[in-house]
Structure 1
Amino acid sequence: MTIFRLIIPALWLVFAVYWGISALSAKRSLGITLWWRQSLLRGGLVVLIVVALRFTPARGLLRAVHAYQAHSILLGAIGAAIVLLGVGLAVYARIYIGRNWGMPMSRKEEPELVTSGPYAYVRHPIYTGIVLAILGSAIGLSVLWGIMLIVFAPYFVYSARREEELMREQFPAQYPDYMRRTKMIVPFVL
């Protein structure tokens, strides 16, 4: 077992604690939020992950790769560096957006369009950071995180597209121009 098997979960813990504390200062959400719809969607993702882990025909291969990862210092170091980069980007983007942050697909009271800082390169740097952190966890901790990446990446694209519909409604003059200047999640690509 390498030290990175402790570092990667510690980075996720720091991320979760910061996220929970910083959510307390966000602007109030407007309108009726369909919390049950979001809960069903997220619950469905969890069920998909559990089913994939439980019934995958490649379980033996996954165990072998996992055993190799547990002793690879190089994979641990690369994974931890990517997790640190991803968590750092998500936290920096969250700090930069400030009180305008909200739960995915929610409307905020007195919204402001933030287009500088990390938002000058991608419209959803928090999602970018989380995807990077999951990728790093798959490399440095366990290949099983790859299943989470396969499940959550499409969810983040879905959330980003839905949020962009809301942003076009709230900022009809500015948001289309901002969309032309930046990519959604991956700088210069997507």
Structure 2
Amino acid sequence: MVFVWSIYAAWLVLIVYLTVSAFGVKRDTEEHIAQRLGLMFAMILAFLLPRVPMFRFVNFAPVNAVLSSIGVIVAVTGMAFLVWARQTLGSNWSQIVSAKHGHELVTSGPYRYVRHPMYTGGLVACIGSAIVVGGGFVFLLILLGVIFLWRVGAEDRLLARQFPDEFPDYARRTKALVPFVW
């Protein structure tokens, strides 16, 4: 049970960090309330679905200590990568796909390896969490996976418009989510 609580504690710390670090970011050039609501709805749905009788099979935690340890390490590694990416973005970060006032193309830190390291880190954290806890994290992985795949395309199009001289070369030399693969 300590592994399960470790996962929830790590996510709580991550959410608090992301919330606090959102203060002082550059303002979005326009509001996208549908994106904000869609992300919130997906997270709520992910934790409601395991309560539906036909989906109870995903409630498999706790598993053995070795697999749980691996899951915690994977989850924390994903979260650390996400935090590194968030720190590197600085005031250019946005919860939604949106241009910022004074937007800059960030290509350093984890952005040297993938164009969307926060999504990579988030998905890795969900995989580790699903190994340990199952339930909502299984559905969170699926739902966020779909949302993140959409956002990769949307952000790439936005960055191509915002940075027509720099982004195409950056996109050619840097994979989207998985280093050296995609």
Q: TM-score, normalised by structure 1?
A: 0.87
* Structure 1 partner of 2:109: 117
- TM-score normalised by structure 2 residue count: 0.90
Question: Which of these residues, 31, 34, 37, is aligned with residue 33 of structure 1?
Answer: 31
Cα-to-partner distance string for 1:95-118 (whole Å, 9 max, x where unaligned): 111111112211111111111110
Distance across 2 between alignment mates of 1:12 and 1:173: 38
Task: Tell me the matched-pair count.
Answer: 182
Which residue of structure 1 aligns with residue 148 of structure 2? 156
Q: Percent identity?
A: 38
| Structure index of larger Rg | 1
**Equivalent of 1:62, from 54, 58, 61?**
58
Aligned partner of 2:39 among 30, 37, 42: 42
- The change in CA–CA distance for 1:154 and 1:56 in structure 2 (over 3 A counts) is farther
Structure 2 unaligned blocks of 5 or more: none
Partner of 1:14: 13
Provide the C-alpha distance between the structure 2 equivalents of 1:56 and 1:186, rounded to a whole number of angstroms: 35
* TM-aligned CA deviation for residue 155 of structure 1: 0.4
Correspondence list, 1:117-156, <5 A: 117-156=109-148
TM-superposed CA distance for 1:120, in Å, is: 0.5
For the Cα contact (< 8 Å) 1:104–1:163, is it kept in 2?
no
Cα deviation, 1:103-139, whole Å, max 9, x if unaligned, reads 2211111111111110011000001111111110001
Q: Which runs of 5+ in 1 are unaligned?
A: none
The letter of the residue matching 1:78 is I
Structure 1 residue 73 and structure 2 residue 70: aligned? no
Quote the Cα distance in structure 2 between the aligned partners of 1:81 and 1:47.
25
Aligned to 1:4: 3
